[in-house]
Amino acid sequence: MKEIHVSQIANTVERLCIEACTILSEDWWQAMDKAIAQEESPLGREILELLKENARLAASTSEAICQDTGIAVVFLEIGQDVRITGGSLYEAINEGVCRGYTRGYLRKSVVKDPLIRQNTGDNTPAIIHTEIVPGSNLKITVAPKGIGSENTSGLKMLKPADGKEGIIRYVLEVVEQAGPNPCPPIIVGIGLGGNFEKAALLAKKALLRPLGQRHLAPHIAELEEELLQKINATGIGPQGLGGRITALDVHIETYPTHIGGLPVAVNIQCHAARHAEALL
């Protein structure tokens, strides 16, 4: 059985927090170039170019892409043949978040209580999702999530009779109500199926998929394309100032569900698709 010490986990999370908030992946740059080529509004193209310049500056100076460095969402895929040694796994992750947000000069945005609103001072605790998988590796993905886009997300328990058209109506409703608030062009993560909480988690995980990569199921891939076209026909445009490119992409993840249900969750992400991962 492979052993991984908690100190290695904390060090890795520290590094990933900084990387995720300062460096965007290659698929993002490709998606932005495609968006600029498709955008018909001169102002929209100028905004997209400025977003690219902002990302270039962030990467070259190791400074945050956005002042809202979010709440740290950490996805763990733990191989069933891995043994964590030296202490608590979750404590190690929170230690890594604390050190990463401090060393990286990242804004600390987490409050201890939803009503009392006292800042924890170190951006912990993280939101941690754990999955046990075959093998002897530990995969860690850190996905900081800002609240501007998170506040515009939604979930609805549709009926099976609502079908595909009901899904499309609801997704467009969420996007149109969001308007400029999530700093478009957005990335739209959608969770279909499961139950109330599963749909929300699917929508969040959908945001981790590389931009431009379609779902393996043809009918879901087709729905992603249809939704992307309809969202970009709303005219909201870059930063909500009008144009063709309201969304860079739409990703859908699905799960089996009850015969009487059709849960749909929509998790909106701003243009900066921030996440970083490591395999231990």
Question: Model-level pTM?
Answer: 0.95
Tell me how far the alpha carbon of residue 139 is from its chain's centroid: 17
Is the predicted pLDDT of residue 93 greater than 90, yes or no?
yes
User: Is residue 1 very low, low, confident or very high in pLDDT (cuts 50, 70, 90)?
Assistant: confident
Q: What are the pLDDT digits (tens) for 203-254?
A: 999 999 999 999 999 999 999 999 999 999 999 999 999 999 999 999 999 9
Q: How much of the chain exceeds pLDDT 90, in percent?
A: 99
Provide mean pLDDT across the span 120-143.
Answer: 97
Over the range 113-133, which residues count as b (16 or more CB within 10 Å of their CB) and which as e? eeeeeeeeebbbbbeeeeeee
